Copies of this chain bind each other. A is one copy, B any other.
Amino acid sequence: MAPAASLPAVTTLLTRYNAIRRATTHFCAPLSPEDLMVQSCPEASPVKWHLAHTTWFFETFVLREHVAAYKPFHPDFYWLFNSYYNSLGDMPEKKLRASFSRPPLDAILRYRAHVDAAIDRFLQQPVVEPAIQRITLGLHHEQQHQELIATDIKHAFFTNPLHPAYLEAPQSKNEAIAPPLEWSSFSPGLTQIGLATDPAGIYAFAFDNETPRHPVYIAPFALANRLVTCSEYLAFIDQNGYERPELWLSEGWTTMRAEGWHAPLYWQRDSNTKSGWRIYTLHGFQPLEHISETPVCHLSYFEADAYARWTAHRLPTEFEWEYAATHSVPAGGTQANLLESGNLHPISASHAPGLQQLFGDTWEWTQSGYTGYPGYKPLPGALGEYNGKFMSSQVVLRGGSCVTPATHIRPTYRNFFAPATRWQFSGLRLAKDLSR
C-alpha cells in the first residue's frame, strides 16, 4: 500500500534527482512563458517562480554549503528567489512575484541547468551524509512544488475569463459508481504516532514535523471506506447546507458569507448541463453528472466540517487517520490515484473491501490543529523555518491528492493549511465515535 514501495531499491540518489527535476519541467511542457507569469490568488505563485525557487533551494542549502568551489549562477538570485527564510535575509514580498518578467524564463531554465550540472558533478564523488540529507530534503521540497504548480496553474486558468484547459484532452468520462459508504472500526488503545527516528525503515525520509514518534491514546472509532463524492455533496447543497448556520463553525459561517461561497471552489451553475452544474478541472469544465461519483474536492475545512456535521458524523483526527493508514492494509493492494496516474483529478473509489483512497485523490481534512509533536525540534539553522513557524491557526490534512507525486506521500505525512483554504485538492472522509 505504501506509495514509495514502487520505487526500485536500486535507485541511486542522482537518478532520483534527475528524474524528479525532469518531472517538474515535464509538467510545464504544455505551458507558455506567459502562462508561467500568472499569480491569480495570494496563496499561489507564478509557475516560473516555482521553477526558480526549487532550484534556489538546492543552490542555497546544498551547493553553497557543501561545494567549496561552487559559483552561484547570479548573485541576486540568493535573495530574489528566497520564499520565506528570514534567517537568510530579506526577500521580495510574495505578491510581487507576478512582476518577475525578468529574469526571463530562458534565464530560469539556464539556472536550473547550471544547478543540475553542479549537483551532477557533486554526486559523482563520495558525499557526506549531511549533504545527502539536504539533497533528499530538496527533492521532497521539489515534489511539494510540483503539486503547487498543478494547483496554481489550475487556479490561474480558472481565473482567466476564457477558462483554458491545462490539457485539452478531456478526462475520460468517469462513470464508475462509487461503492456504498461502509465503516471500518478500530479498537481503542495507545499507539505510536509519527516516523520512527530509525531511518532504516521503509520510509527513509520524513519532515521534522512528523517526529518524534510518540504514544497517543485513541478512543474507539470508525472511518468511512471512501471519500465523500460530488453527488453526496450536491445533496448537502440542495438541502440548504449553505443556509443553515447550525451546521457551521462560527468562523466558517462568517467566512462563507463574506466570500459568497455557495459550493466548492470550481463549481459553477450551468443551465446547459443535466445536473445544472459544471466543475472546472485541469481538463477544462466537465458537467457535474460526468464526475458525480468522484470525490468532492476544493473544499475549505469549514465546508468539510459542516458537511460532516450534516451527516451527524465528524472529521477524523490526524491520529485516527494515521492509525488507520498504518494498520489497515486493503486486501489485494491498491492503486492510488496520484500525480503519476495522469488523471489530474480524483476518480471513483474501488469496490474492493477495506479502506479505499487513503492515498491520492484528495487531501483529507482532519479535525486536528497543526502543532508540534511532544519533543518536536525544528531542523537547525534556516531550515528550521521550513515547517515549525507555521504551527498556528492551521489544520492538518492527510493522504495526498491526485497531483501529489507517488514517492512523496506516506502514512505519517502532515500537510497543513489555514481552514479557509480551497485551492488545493482538499476533500474529506467521514469518521465517527464508537461506544466504549
A413 within 8 A of B: no
Partner of A251, one of B105, B159, B250, B392: B392
Residue from the set A36, A302, A369 with the largest chain B CB neighbour count within 10 Å: A369
A101 / chain B contacts, CB cutoff of 8 Å = 32, 34-38, 156, 160
Asked whether, in the complex, the Cβ of A250 is within 8 Å of the Cβ of B389, the reply is yes
Give the distance to chain B from A395, nearest Cβ to Cβ, in Å. 8
A192-214 to B contact mask, C-beta < 8 Å, 1/0: 00000000000000000000001
A366-407 to B contact mask, C-beta < 8 Å, 1/0: 011111101100000000110001111101000000000000
A33 within 8 A of B: yes
Residue of B nearest to A39 (CB): B98
A11 within 8 A of B: no
A117 within 8 A of B: no
Interface size grouping (class) on chain A: 35 or more
- Determine, out of A124-132, A173-181, A241-249, A339-347, the stretch whose residues face the partner at the interface: A241-249
A389 / chain B contacts, CB cutoff of 8 Å = 248-250, 253
Give the distance to chain B from A56, nearest Cβ to Cβ, in Å. 14
A219 within 8 A of B: yes
A98 / chain B contacts, CB cutoff of 8 Å = 37-39, 98
A292 within 8 A of B: no
Interface SS majority for chain A = mixed
Within 8 A of B (CB), among A243-286: 245-246, 248-253
How far, in whole Å, are A92 and B159 apart by their CA atoms in the complex?
Answer: 10
How far, in whole Å, are A86 and B245 apart by their CA atoms in the complex?
Answer: 6
Asked whether, in the complex, the Cβ of B76 is within 8 Å of the Cβ of A162, the reply is yes
A8 within 8 A of B: no
How far, in whole Å, are A66 and B232 apart by their CA atoms in the complex?
Answer: 40
A215 / chain B contacts, CB cutoff of 8 Å = 217, 219
Give the distance to chain B from A312, nearest Cβ to Cβ, in Å. 11
Give the distance to chain B from A195, nearest Cβ to Cβ, in Å. 16
A300-321 to B contact mask, C-beta < 8 Å, 1/0: 0110010000000000010000
A27 within 8 A of B: no
Partner of A214, one of B87, B219, B249: B219
CB within 8 Å for A162 and B80 given contacts A99-B38, A101-B34? yes
Residue of B nearest to A434 (CB): B375
Give the distance to chain B from A28, nearest Cβ to Cβ, in Å. 13
A37 / chain B contacts, CB cutoff of 8 Å = 34, 37-38, 98, 101
A246 / chain B contacts, CB cutoff of 8 Å = 86-87, 384-385
A212-236 to B contact mask, C-beta < 8 Å, 1/0: 0011110101000000000000000
Asked whether, in the complex, the Cβ of B433 is within 8 Å of the Cβ of A374, the reply is yes
Pairs of residues from A and B, 4 with the lowest C-beta to C-beta distance, nearest first = A369-B369, A86-B245, A34-B101, A37-B37
Jot down 9 A-B pairs with beta carbons below 8 A, ordered by A.
A34-B101, A37-B98, A87-B246, A96-B161, A99-B159, A215-B217, A305-B392, A368-B369, A393-B419
B-binding residues in A (CB < 8 A)? 32-40, 48, 76, 80, 84, 86-87, 92, 96, 98-105, 156-157, 159-162, 164, 190, 214-217, 219, 221, 245-246, 248-253, 301-302, 305, 317, 367-372, 374-375, 384-385, 389-393, 395, 419, 433
